[in-house]
Structure 1
Amino acid sequence: MLFQIKAYLKFLWNSKNEHGVHSPFVFSLLTKCFYDQKFKAEYDILKNYRKSLLKNKNYIEVTDFGAGSKVFKSNRRQISKIASTAGISPKRAELLFRVSNYFQPNSILEIGTSLGLATSALALGNPKAKVITLEGCPQTATIAKNQLNQFDCKNVDSIISEFESFLISENLQATSYNLIYFDGNHSKKATLTYFDLLLPTIDNDSVWIFDDIHWSPEMEEAWEIIQNHPKVTVTIDTFQWGFVFFRYEQPKEHFVIRT
Protein backbone atom coordinates (compact mmCIF):
# COMPACT_ATOMS: atom_id res chain seq x y z
CA MET A 1 0.00 0.00 0.00
CA LEU A 2 2.83 2.42 0.85
CA PHE A 3 4.41 1.75 -2.53
CA GLN A 4 1.14 2.56 -4.33
CA ILE A 5 0.74 5.82 -2.37
CA LYS A 6 4.24 6.90 -3.34
CA ALA A 7 3.61 5.85 -6.95
CA TYR A 8 0.38 7.87 -7.04
CA LEU A 9 2.04 11.00 -5.66
CA LYS A 10 4.74 10.67 -8.31
CA PHE A 11 2.02 10.22 -10.94
CA LEU A 12 0.22 13.38 -9.81
CA TRP A 13 3.47 15.36 -9.95
CA ASN A 14 4.17 14.29 -13.54
CA SER A 15 0.63 14.14 -14.93
CA LYS A 16 -1.06 16.54 -17.33
CA ASN A 17 -4.48 17.05 -18.90
CA GLU A 18 -5.29 17.80 -22.51
CA HIS A 19 -3.77 21.31 -22.28
CA GLY A 20 -0.28 19.84 -21.98
CA VAL A 21 -0.62 17.54 -24.99
CA HIS A 22 0.62 18.49 -28.47
CA SER A 23 -0.06 15.20 -30.27
CA PRO A 24 -3.28 15.55 -32.36
CA PHE A 25 -4.00 11.83 -31.94
CA VAL A 26 -3.72 11.92 -28.15
CA PHE A 27 -5.45 15.31 -27.85
CA SER A 28 -8.45 13.98 -29.79
CA LEU A 29 -8.55 10.82 -27.65
CA LEU A 30 -8.56 12.87 -24.45
CA THR A 31 -11.12 15.47 -25.47
CA LYS A 32 -13.53 13.21 -27.38
CA CYS A 33 -13.22 10.08 -25.25
CA PHE A 34 -11.43 10.28 -21.89
CA TYR A 35 -13.00 13.60 -20.88
CA ASP A 36 -16.36 13.15 -22.59
CA GLN A 37 -18.95 14.11 -19.95
CA LYS A 38 -22.08 13.44 -22.01
CA PHE A 39 -24.42 10.84 -20.57
CA LYS A 40 -24.70 7.54 -22.46
CA ALA A 41 -27.75 5.30 -22.21
CA GLU A 42 -25.41 2.32 -21.83
CA TYR A 43 -24.23 3.69 -18.49
CA ASP A 44 -27.57 2.62 -17.00
CA ILE A 45 -27.02 -0.92 -18.31
CA LEU A 46 -23.56 -1.01 -16.74
CA LYS A 47 -25.02 0.30 -13.48
CA ASN A 48 -27.78 -2.32 -13.42
CA TYR A 49 -25.29 -5.07 -14.31
CA ARG A 50 -23.27 -4.10 -11.24
CA LYS A 51 -26.34 -3.79 -8.99
CA SER A 52 -27.44 -7.27 -9.97
CA LEU A 53 -24.10 -8.70 -8.84
CA LEU A 54 -24.00 -6.68 -5.63
CA LYS A 55 -27.37 -8.14 -4.66
CA ASN A 56 -26.19 -11.70 -5.25
CA LYS A 57 -25.32 -13.18 -1.85
CA ASN A 58 -24.57 -16.68 -3.15
CA TYR A 59 -21.15 -18.23 -2.66
CA ILE A 60 -19.00 -19.83 -5.35
CA GLU A 61 -15.70 -21.68 -5.29
CA VAL A 62 -13.17 -19.31 -6.83
CA THR A 63 -10.05 -20.84 -8.35
CA ASP A 64 -7.03 -18.82 -9.45
CA PHE A 65 -4.33 -20.20 -11.68
CA GLY A 66 -0.62 -19.60 -11.91
CA ALA A 67 1.76 -20.31 -14.76
CA GLY A 68 1.31 -23.61 -16.52
CA SER A 69 -2.27 -24.04 -15.26
CA LYS A 70 -1.00 -24.63 -11.72
CA VAL A 71 -3.72 -23.91 -9.17
CA PHE A 72 -2.37 -21.65 -6.46
CA LYS A 73 -5.55 -20.55 -4.66
CA SER A 74 -9.05 -21.88 -4.23
CA ASN A 75 -11.65 -20.55 -1.80
CA ARG A 76 -15.33 -19.85 -1.35
CA ARG A 77 -16.32 -16.25 -1.95
CA GLN A 78 -19.57 -14.35 -2.02
CA ILE A 79 -20.48 -13.03 -5.47
CA SER A 80 -21.40 -9.60 -4.12
CA LYS A 81 -18.00 -9.34 -2.41
CA ILE A 82 -16.17 -10.22 -5.62
CA ALA A 83 -18.13 -7.55 -7.49
CA SER A 84 -17.41 -4.89 -4.87
CA THR A 85 -13.70 -5.60 -4.38
CA ALA A 86 -12.32 -7.30 -7.48
CA GLY A 87 -14.45 -5.78 -10.21
CA ILE A 88 -13.77 -2.66 -12.25
CA SER A 89 -15.08 0.57 -10.68
CA PRO A 90 -18.16 2.33 -12.14
CA LYS A 91 -16.01 5.24 -13.36
CA ARG A 92 -13.54 2.89 -15.04
CA ALA A 93 -16.34 0.85 -16.62
CA GLU A 94 -17.73 4.00 -18.21
CA LEU A 95 -14.28 5.00 -19.48
CA LEU A 96 -13.74 1.51 -20.91
CA PHE A 97 -17.10 1.78 -22.66
CA ARG A 98 -16.07 5.12 -24.16
CA VAL A 99 -12.74 3.71 -25.34
CA SER A 100 -14.48 0.80 -27.08
CA ASN A 101 -17.05 3.18 -28.53
CA TYR A 102 -14.42 5.66 -29.69
CA PHE A 103 -12.16 3.20 -31.51
CA GLN A 104 -14.96 0.87 -32.72
CA PRO A 105 -12.75 -2.26 -32.71
CA ASN A 106 -14.00 -5.20 -34.76
CA SER A 107 -12.27 -7.77 -32.57
CA ILE A 108 -11.64 -7.49 -28.81
CA LEU A 109 -9.71 -9.77 -26.47
CA GLU A 110 -10.04 -9.55 -22.70
CA ILE A 111 -7.61 -11.45 -20.50
CA GLY A 112 -9.42 -11.97 -17.19
CA THR A 113 -13.24 -11.93 -17.26
CA SER A 114 -13.94 -12.16 -13.53
CA LEU A 115 -17.68 -11.36 -13.26
CA GLY A 116 -17.82 -9.55 -16.60
CA LEU A 117 -18.06 -5.95 -15.40
CA ALA A 118 -15.33 -4.82 -17.80
CA THR A 119 -16.51 -7.29 -20.45
CA SER A 120 -19.94 -5.69 -20.58
CA ALA A 121 -18.38 -2.23 -21.04
CA LEU A 122 -16.24 -3.47 -23.92
CA ALA A 123 -19.14 -5.29 -25.55
CA LEU A 124 -21.62 -2.43 -25.23
CA GLY A 125 -19.06 0.04 -26.59
CA ASN A 126 -19.31 -1.67 -29.98
CA PRO A 127 -22.13 -4.24 -30.21
CA LYS A 128 -20.86 -5.21 -33.68
CA ALA A 129 -17.47 -6.29 -32.32
CA LYS A 130 -16.57 -9.88 -31.56
CA VAL A 131 -15.44 -10.01 -27.94
CA ILE A 132 -13.39 -12.96 -26.70
CA THR A 133 -12.95 -13.04 -22.93
CA LEU A 134 -10.72 -15.49 -21.07
CA GLU A 135 -11.29 -16.71 -17.52
CA GLY A 136 -9.47 -19.47 -15.67
CA CYS A 137 -12.09 -20.11 -12.98
CA PRO A 138 -15.10 -22.10 -14.33
CA GLN A 139 -17.46 -20.97 -11.55
CA THR A 140 -16.71 -17.28 -12.03
CA ALA A 141 -16.91 -17.64 -15.81
CA THR A 142 -20.36 -19.23 -15.53
CA ILE A 143 -21.69 -16.33 -13.45
CA ALA A 144 -20.24 -13.84 -15.94
CA LYS A 145 -21.69 -15.67 -18.93
CA ASN A 146 -25.17 -15.69 -17.40
CA GLN A 147 -24.89 -12.00 -16.53
CA LEU A 148 -23.73 -11.05 -20.02
CA ASN A 149 -26.64 -12.93 -21.59
CA GLN A 150 -29.10 -11.34 -19.18
CA PHE A 151 -27.93 -7.85 -20.13
CA ASP A 152 -27.95 -8.52 -23.89
CA CYS A 153 -24.20 -8.62 -24.42
CA LYS A 154 -24.67 -11.14 -27.21
CA ASN A 155 -21.37 -10.43 -28.94
CA VAL A 156 -19.23 -12.10 -26.25
CA ASP A 157 -17.53 -15.47 -26.55
CA SER A 158 -16.55 -16.68 -23.06
CA ILE A 159 -13.64 -19.10 -22.93
CA ILE A 160 -12.51 -20.97 -19.82
CA SER A 161 -8.76 -21.46 -20.07
CA GLU A 162 -5.46 -20.69 -18.42
CA PHE A 163 -4.38 -17.56 -20.28
CA GLU A 164 -0.93 -18.51 -21.48
CA SER A 165 -2.12 -21.94 -22.63
CA PHE A 166 -4.86 -20.34 -24.75
CA LEU A 167 -2.48 -17.84 -26.33
CA ILE A 168 0.07 -20.54 -27.14
CA SER A 169 -2.57 -22.82 -28.65
CA GLU A 170 -4.03 -20.10 -30.89
CA ASN A 171 -2.60 -19.34 -34.33
CA LEU A 172 -1.86 -15.74 -33.39
CA GLN A 173 0.10 -15.09 -36.58
CA ALA A 174 -3.23 -15.24 -38.42
CA THR A 175 -5.21 -13.35 -35.76
CA SER A 176 -5.91 -9.66 -35.37
CA TYR A 177 -7.26 -8.12 -32.18
CA ASN A 178 -8.05 -4.43 -32.52
CA LEU A 179 -8.34 -3.93 -28.75
CA ILE A 180 -6.85 -6.04 -25.94
CA TYR A 181 -7.60 -5.50 -22.26
CA PHE A 182 -5.03 -7.14 -19.97
CA ASP A 183 -6.50 -7.78 -16.52
CA GLY A 184 -5.64 -11.36 -15.70
CA ASN A 185 -2.34 -11.67 -13.90
CA HIS A 186 -0.66 -8.68 -12.33
CA SER A 187 2.90 -9.98 -12.37
CA LYS A 188 5.85 -8.83 -14.44
CA LYS A 189 6.55 -12.25 -15.90
CA ALA A 190 2.97 -12.97 -16.97
CA THR A 191 2.40 -9.46 -18.33
CA LEU A 192 5.51 -9.58 -20.50
CA THR A 193 4.73 -13.14 -21.62
CA TYR A 194 1.25 -12.09 -22.81
CA PHE A 195 2.77 -9.01 -24.46
CA ASP A 196 5.28 -11.08 -26.43
CA LEU A 197 2.77 -13.77 -27.39
CA LEU A 198 0.25 -11.23 -28.68
CA LEU A 199 2.65 -8.98 -30.63
CA PRO A 200 1.97 -10.88 -33.89
CA THR A 201 -1.68 -9.70 -33.73
CA ILE A 202 -0.97 -5.96 -33.86
CA ASP A 203 -1.71 -3.58 -36.70
CA ASN A 204 -1.48 0.19 -36.99
CA ASP A 205 -4.76 0.75 -35.13
CA SER A 206 -4.28 -1.72 -32.28
CA VAL A 207 -5.17 -0.50 -28.78
CA TRP A 208 -3.80 -2.34 -25.76
CA ILE A 209 -4.82 -1.54 -22.18
CA PHE A 210 -2.84 -2.88 -19.22
CA ASP A 211 -4.48 -2.82 -15.79
CA ASP A 212 -2.65 -1.95 -12.54
CA ILE A 213 0.63 -0.80 -14.06
CA HIS A 214 1.61 0.73 -10.68
CA TRP A 215 0.40 -2.23 -8.60
CA SER A 216 3.94 -3.21 -7.55
CA PRO A 217 7.58 -2.43 -8.36
CA GLU A 218 7.69 -5.37 -10.78
CA MET A 219 4.56 -4.17 -12.61
CA GLU A 220 6.20 -0.77 -13.02
CA GLU A 221 9.25 -2.56 -14.41
CA ALA A 222 7.03 -4.43 -16.88
CA TRP A 223 5.39 -1.15 -17.91
CA GLU A 224 8.78 0.47 -18.53
CA ILE A 225 9.89 -2.47 -20.68
CA ILE A 226 6.67 -2.23 -22.70
CA GLN A 227 7.11 1.52 -23.17
CA ASN A 228 10.62 1.01 -24.51
CA HIS A 229 9.73 -1.80 -26.90
CA PRO A 230 10.69 -0.80 -30.48
CA LYS A 231 7.23 -1.59 -31.87
CA VAL A 232 5.50 0.64 -29.31
CA THR A 233 5.13 4.26 -30.37
CA VAL A 234 2.66 5.98 -28.03
CA THR A 235 1.84 5.11 -24.42
CA ILE A 236 -0.52 6.81 -21.98
CA ASP A 237 -0.19 6.28 -18.23
CA THR A 238 -3.47 7.04 -16.40
CA PHE A 239 -2.08 5.49 -13.20
CA GLN A 240 -4.45 2.52 -13.04
CA TRP A 241 -4.24 1.79 -16.76
CA GLY A 242 -1.48 1.91 -19.31
CA PHE A 243 -2.59 2.48 -22.91
CA VAL A 244 -0.29 1.23 -25.68
CA PHE A 245 -0.42 2.14 -29.38
CA PHE A 246 1.60 0.89 -32.34
CA ARG A 247 0.90 3.69 -34.84
CA TYR A 248 3.73 3.68 -37.38
CA GLU A 249 3.28 7.36 -38.28
CA GLN A 250 3.57 8.54 -34.67
CA PRO A 251 6.84 9.64 -33.08
CA LYS A 252 7.69 7.68 -29.94
CA GLU A 253 6.12 9.56 -27.06
CA HIS A 254 4.97 8.76 -23.53
CA PHE A 255 2.17 10.65 -21.77
CA VAL A 256 1.12 10.76 -18.11
CA ILE A 257 -2.53 11.81 -18.09
CA ARG A 258 -5.03 12.52 -15.30
CA THR A 259 -8.49 11.05 -15.91
Structure 2
Amino acid sequence: MYNIRYGLNYLRHRFLANNRHGIHSPFVYKLIDTVIYDYRGQKVYRDIKKIAQKQHSDKGVINTLPLKFYHLLYRFCVYLKPQTILLADAEDYITEFVIKQSNPEVQSVSSTTSGIRQVDMILADALKQRPVSYLEKIIPSIHDDSVIIFTNIYRNASTRQSWEQLKLNQQVRVTIDLFYIGLVFFKPGMSKEDFRVRY
Protein backbone atom coordinates (compact mmCIF):
# COMPACT_ATOMS: atom_id res chain seq x y z
CA MET A 1 0.00 0.00 0.00
CA TYR A 2 2.91 2.33 0.84
CA ASN A 3 4.44 2.04 -2.63
CA ILE A 4 1.05 2.26 -4.35
CA ARG A 5 0.12 5.43 -2.46
CA TYR A 6 3.51 6.98 -3.21
CA GLY A 7 3.08 6.13 -6.88
CA LEU A 8 -0.40 7.64 -6.95
CA ASN A 9 0.92 10.81 -5.35
CA TYR A 10 3.57 10.99 -8.06
CA LEU A 11 0.97 10.65 -10.83
CA ARG A 12 -1.15 13.34 -9.20
CA HIS A 13 1.86 15.62 -8.98
CA ARG A 14 2.66 15.09 -12.65
CA PHE A 15 -0.93 15.92 -13.58
CA LEU A 16 -1.04 19.14 -11.52
CA ALA A 17 2.51 20.38 -12.09
CA ASN A 18 3.62 22.97 -14.64
CA ASN A 19 6.69 23.16 -16.79
CA ARG A 20 8.59 26.44 -17.23
CA HIS A 21 5.90 27.83 -19.57
CA GLY A 22 3.28 27.84 -16.82
CA ILE A 23 5.44 29.95 -14.50
CA HIS A 24 5.00 33.73 -14.30
CA SER A 25 7.63 34.51 -11.65
CA PRO A 26 10.87 35.66 -13.38
CA PHE A 27 12.98 34.29 -10.51
CA VAL A 28 11.35 30.86 -10.61
CA TYR A 29 11.26 30.73 -14.41
CA LYS A 30 15.00 31.42 -14.61
CA LEU A 31 15.73 28.81 -11.95
CA ILE A 32 13.72 26.20 -13.85
CA ASP A 33 15.12 27.11 -17.26
CA THR A 34 18.75 27.50 -16.17
CA VAL A 35 19.07 24.84 -13.48
CA ILE A 36 16.21 22.36 -13.16
CA TYR A 37 15.83 21.72 -16.89
CA ASP A 38 19.54 21.74 -17.66
CA TYR A 39 20.03 18.18 -18.89
CA ARG A 40 23.55 18.57 -20.23
CA GLY A 41 25.97 15.89 -19.10
CA GLN A 42 28.62 16.65 -16.48
CA LYS A 43 31.72 14.68 -15.58
CA VAL A 44 30.67 14.76 -11.93
CA TYR A 45 27.54 12.75 -12.81
CA ARG A 46 29.71 9.81 -13.80
CA ASP A 47 31.63 10.11 -10.56
CA ILE A 48 28.38 10.16 -8.54
CA LYS A 49 27.21 7.04 -10.34
CA LYS A 50 30.47 5.24 -9.56
CA ILE A 51 30.07 6.02 -5.87
CA ALA A 52 26.45 4.85 -5.96
CA GLN A 53 27.43 1.57 -7.62
CA LYS A 54 29.84 0.86 -4.78
CA GLN A 55 27.52 1.80 -1.92
CA HIS A 56 23.95 1.07 -3.04
CA SER A 57 22.35 -2.07 -4.42
CA ASP A 58 19.82 -0.10 -6.49
CA LYS A 59 22.03 1.94 -8.81
CA GLY A 60 19.25 4.41 -9.63
CA VAL A 61 18.36 5.26 -6.02
CA ILE A 62 20.50 6.64 -3.21
CA ASN A 63 19.00 6.89 0.27
CA THR A 64 15.40 6.82 -1.12
CA LEU A 65 16.19 9.55 -3.70
CA PRO A 66 16.66 9.11 -7.46
CA LEU A 67 20.17 9.57 -8.78
CA LYS A 68 19.00 12.64 -10.69
CA PHE A 69 18.47 14.47 -7.37
CA TYR A 70 22.23 14.51 -6.81
CA HIS A 71 22.75 15.85 -10.32
CA LEU A 72 20.22 18.58 -9.55
CA LEU A 73 21.85 19.35 -6.19
CA TYR A 74 25.13 19.90 -8.01
CA ARG A 75 23.48 22.35 -10.40
CA PHE A 76 21.76 24.19 -7.54
CA CYS A 77 25.06 24.64 -5.74
CA VAL A 78 26.81 25.88 -8.89
CA TYR A 79 23.97 28.33 -9.62
CA LEU A 80 23.22 29.61 -6.11
CA LYS A 81 26.86 29.57 -4.92
CA PRO A 82 26.15 28.89 -1.22
CA GLN A 83 29.11 29.47 1.07
CA THR A 84 27.61 28.00 4.22
CA ILE A 85 25.64 24.76 3.93
CA LEU A 86 23.85 23.01 6.76
CA LEU A 87 23.12 19.30 6.56
CA ALA A 88 20.28 18.84 9.03
CA ASP A 89 20.82 15.09 9.31
CA ALA A 90 23.84 12.85 9.58
CA GLU A 91 26.35 13.62 6.87
CA ASP A 92 26.01 11.65 3.69
CA TYR A 93 29.25 11.04 1.78
CA ILE A 94 27.65 11.44 -1.64
CA THR A 95 25.95 14.71 -0.67
CA GLU A 96 29.20 16.10 0.66
CA PHE A 97 31.02 14.96 -2.48
CA VAL A 98 28.48 16.75 -4.70
CA ILE A 99 28.73 19.94 -2.65
CA LYS A 100 32.53 19.99 -2.73
CA GLN A 101 32.57 19.31 -6.47
CA SER A 102 30.22 22.22 -7.10
CA ASN A 103 32.25 24.63 -4.98
CA PRO A 104 35.59 23.48 -3.53
CA GLU A 105 35.77 26.71 -1.51
CA VAL A 106 32.49 26.20 0.36
CA GLN A 107 33.17 27.45 3.88
CA SER A 108 31.06 25.12 5.95
CA VAL A 109 29.23 21.84 5.62
CA SER A 110 27.79 21.01 9.01
CA SER A 111 25.15 18.78 10.57
CA THR A 112 24.60 21.03 13.55
CA THR A 113 23.29 24.55 14.03
CA SER A 114 25.65 25.32 16.93
CA GLY A 115 27.85 28.28 16.13
CA ILE A 116 26.14 28.97 12.79
CA ARG A 117 24.51 32.38 12.54
CA GLN A 118 23.79 32.67 8.83
CA VAL A 119 23.17 29.72 6.52
CA ASP A 120 22.94 29.99 2.74
CA MET A 121 21.58 26.50 2.04
CA ILE A 122 20.00 23.87 4.27
CA LEU A 123 19.37 20.26 3.30
CA ALA A 124 16.90 18.32 5.42
CA ASP A 125 15.08 14.99 5.08
CA ALA A 126 11.36 15.47 5.75
CA LEU A 127 11.25 11.93 7.16
CA LYS A 128 13.68 12.96 9.90
CA GLN A 129 13.00 16.69 10.21
CA ARG A 130 9.31 17.62 10.12
CA PRO A 131 9.32 20.58 7.69
CA VAL A 132 7.01 22.95 9.56
CA SER A 133 8.69 22.46 12.95
CA TYR A 134 12.20 22.38 11.51
CA LEU A 135 11.54 25.71 9.80
CA GLU A 136 10.69 27.27 13.17
CA LYS A 137 13.93 25.88 14.60
CA ILE A 138 16.15 27.13 11.78
CA ILE A 139 14.57 30.58 11.21
CA PRO A 140 17.20 32.41 13.35
CA SER A 141 19.89 31.21 10.91
CA ILE A 142 17.98 32.20 7.77
CA HIS A 143 18.74 35.32 5.70
CA ASP A 144 16.95 36.81 2.69
CA ASP A 145 18.78 34.65 0.14
CA SER A 146 18.75 31.37 2.06
CA VAL A 147 17.18 28.27 0.55
CA ILE A 148 15.99 25.13 2.30
CA ILE A 149 15.83 21.88 0.34
CA PHE A 150 13.56 19.29 1.91
CA THR A 151 13.77 15.76 0.52
CA ASN A 152 11.05 13.08 0.76
CA ILE A 153 8.19 15.57 1.13
CA TYR A 154 5.69 13.01 -0.26
CA ARG A 155 6.97 9.90 1.50
CA ASN A 156 3.97 9.58 3.82
CA ALA A 157 0.90 11.46 5.03
CA SER A 158 2.86 13.16 7.82
CA THR A 159 5.54 14.60 5.54
CA ARG A 160 2.94 15.79 3.02
CA GLN A 161 0.88 17.48 5.72
CA SER A 162 3.91 19.16 7.27
CA TRP A 163 5.04 20.43 3.87
CA GLU A 164 1.61 21.96 3.27
CA GLN A 165 1.68 23.62 6.70
CA LEU A 166 5.14 25.05 6.06
CA LYS A 167 3.83 26.90 3.00
CA LEU A 168 1.50 28.92 5.22
CA ASN A 169 4.41 30.53 7.09
CA GLN A 170 4.47 34.24 6.18
CA GLN A 171 8.27 34.35 6.15
CA VAL A 172 8.24 31.82 3.33
CA ARG A 173 7.84 33.71 0.06
CA VAL A 174 8.22 31.00 -2.58
CA THR A 175 8.12 27.21 -2.56
CA ILE A 176 8.89 24.93 -5.50
CA ASP A 177 7.55 21.39 -5.31
CA LEU A 178 9.47 18.92 -7.51
CA PHE A 179 7.85 15.91 -5.79
CA TYR A 180 11.12 14.31 -4.68
CA ILE A 181 12.17 17.56 -3.06
CA GLY A 182 10.70 20.88 -2.00
CA LEU A 183 12.57 24.19 -2.22
CA VAL A 184 11.85 27.05 0.18
CA PHE A 185 12.88 30.66 -0.49
CA PHE A 186 12.58 33.73 1.75
CA LYS A 187 13.34 36.62 -0.62
CA PRO A 188 11.44 39.70 0.63
CA GLY A 189 9.51 41.65 -1.95
CA MET A 190 8.52 38.55 -3.90
CA SER A 191 4.88 37.62 -4.20
CA LYS A 192 3.97 34.73 -1.93
CA GLU A 193 3.53 31.81 -4.33
CA ASP A 194 3.75 28.02 -4.34
CA PHE A 195 4.74 26.20 -7.51
CA ARG A 196 4.47 22.56 -8.57
CA VAL A 197 7.03 21.87 -11.27
CA ARG A 198 7.26 18.79 -13.45
CA TYR A 199 10.70 17.22 -13.14
- TM-score, normalising length from structure 2? 0.88
Is 2:148 aligned against 1:208? yes
| Alignment partner, residue 72 of structure 1 | none
Is 2:50 aligned against 1:110? no
Find 2:164's aligned residue among 224, 242, 252: 224
| Alignment partner, residue 101 of structure 2 | 124
Once the two structures are superposed, residues 2-46 of structure 1 have per-residue CA deviations (whole angstroms, 9 ceiling, x without a partner) of 332332222122101001111110011011100112222222222
1:182 shift after superposition: 0.4
1:49 shift after superposition: 2.2
Find 2:137's aligned residue among 189, 197, 204: 197
| Alignment partner, residue 35 of structure 1 | 37
1:258 aligned partner, one-letter code: R
In structure 1, C-alpha distance between the alignment counterparts of 2:92 and 2:187, rounded to whole Å? 32
Gap runs ≥5 in structure 1? 55-79, 135-165
Gap runs ≥5 in structure 2? none
| Alignment partner, residue 96 of structure 1 | 73
Query: Would the alpha carbon gap of residues 224 and 121 (structure 1) be closer, same or farther in structure 2, given more than 3 Å must change?
Result: same
2:87 aligned partner, one-letter code: E
**What is the percentage of aligned positions where both structures have the same residue?**
27
In structure 1, C-alpha distance between the alignment counterparts of 2:22 and 2:58, rounded to whole Å? 39
Give the total of aligned pairs. Answer: 197
Name the structure, 1 or 2, with higher relative contact order (CA <8 Å, separation 6+).
Answer: 2
Is 2:6 aligned against 1:10? no
In structure 2, C-alpha distance between the alignment counterparts of 1:10 and 1:83, rounded to whole Å? 22
2:70 aligned partner, one-letter code: A
Over the aligned positions, Cα root-mean-square deviation in angstroms equals: 2.3
Give the greater-gyration-radius structure (CA): 1
In structure 1, C-alpha distance between the alignment counterparts of 2:162 and 2:152, rounded to whole Å? 11
- TM-score, normalising length from structure 1? 0.69
